[in-house]
Amino acid sequence: MGDVPALRDAPARSAKSGLNLRFIDWIWNIRGSVPLAPGQSSDEAFSRLDPLFDQPGTTYERTGDALSFAKKDQAAQDKMSIFDVGVLQVEQSADGPVLRYRMASRALLFCFLAPFLFLAFGQLIVAVGMMTAPATEAAEKDKKDEKKEVVRKLNPIDEFLGAPAPEKPKKDDKSEKKDDKHSPTAAYVFAALFAALYVVGRLLEDRLIKNVFRRSLQTP
């Protein structure tokens, strides 16, 4: 067990810097609560959750009814692999004791920001394309002058087997040819992909971890 950054201090820290993170920290924080089994003490609850924290790269600390943890270089199959720090607390509610948790994930934040990164890559590709366009066009023209268009033939074996013969190069096509090397389409596709992955991950991981906690606490 080592030093664990206390997440409970986070609101105070953000207040100090004049920035209220509460409105946006749902992006990388997952909060929730799971009811404890009837008559379950906090000691019993945390001992049931122990296997989740006995993982490589995980440190945790118990103080009274709360447990705070930090994870580094989480294994791929660690059930809490997306979380880096967090606090779990047993509280009394009207319906009995509940486990409340708040856990932060760099992976969620990364996935949330990734679409912006790929949009920027798209813009960069367009910008480089615009900067290099005149030079490339000139080079292409030179090449065209140098090379005589040769109509290539298939090997007789391929002709016999019926493979389609190569087409004659179309001269008009080349001038209208799009600059495929500087197309931002792939970057935009990945931006959309990461946006969709963020939505899926934010909902899925929220549900998965709730199920893991519920199963650990309530399975007899």
Partner 1 sequence: MDGVRVGNRLVGTQSPVTIGWENIPRVEGGPVKQFIFTYFQPAVLFALILFWYYAPNSIAKASTAIGIGIAFKLLLLALEWVNPRYASWRLTWKELVTDLFYVGLGYTVLGLVENHIGADVVIEAVRNSYDWEKFAWFTSMPLLVQAFLILFIFDFGQYWMHRGMHNFYPLWLTHSVHHYITQLNINKGAVGNPIELLLIGIGIGGFFDFLPRAALLAGAMGMSIGIYQHINVRFNTPAWWRFLFNTTEHHSLHHSQDFEATRSNYAANFIFIDRIFGTCIDGEAELLGMEGGRRMSIREQMLFPFTEGWKTTKERLGRSRRAKGQFAEQDTVPAE
Where along the sequence are the contacts to partner 1 (CB under 8 A)? 56-57, 73-77, 81-82, 106-107, 110-111, 114, 118, 121-122, 124-125, 128, 132, 152-155, 157-158, 161-164, 166-167, 181-182, 186-187, 190, 193-194, 197, 200-201, 204-205
132-144 in b/e form (b: 16+ CB < 10 A) is: eeeeeeeeeeeee
- By beta-carbon proximity to partner 1, the closer residue of 12 and 161 is 161
- State in angstroms the smallest separation of the CB of 34 from partner 1: 21
Please, which residue, 15 or 186, has the CB nearer to partner 1?
A: 186
In this complex, which beta carbon is closest to partner 1, that of residue 8 or of residue 215?
215
Residues 6+ apart with CB under 8 A from 73: 56, 57
Read off the tokens for 9: 């201090």
Tokens describing residue 197: 């992955």
Find the shortest distance in angstroms from Cβ 187 to partner 1. 5
CA angle, residues 125, 129, 133, in degrees to nearest 5: 175
Of the pair 90, 187, the CB lying nearest partner 1 is at: 187
Judged by CB, which is closer to partner 1: 1, or 139?
139
* Helix%, strand%, coil% for the chain, nearest 5: 55, 15, 30
Q: What's the min distance (Å) between Cβ of 99 and partner 1?
A: 23
Strand pairing partners for 97? 92
Backbone phi and psi for residue 38, each to the nearest 5 degrees, phi listed first:
-55, 130
Q: Measure Cα distances from 97 to 39, 187, 210, 214, 215 in Å.
A: 8, 48, 16, 13, 16
The nearest distance, CB 181 to partner 1, in angstroms, is 5
**Please, what is the minimum distance in Å from the beta carbon of residue 54 to partner 1?**
16
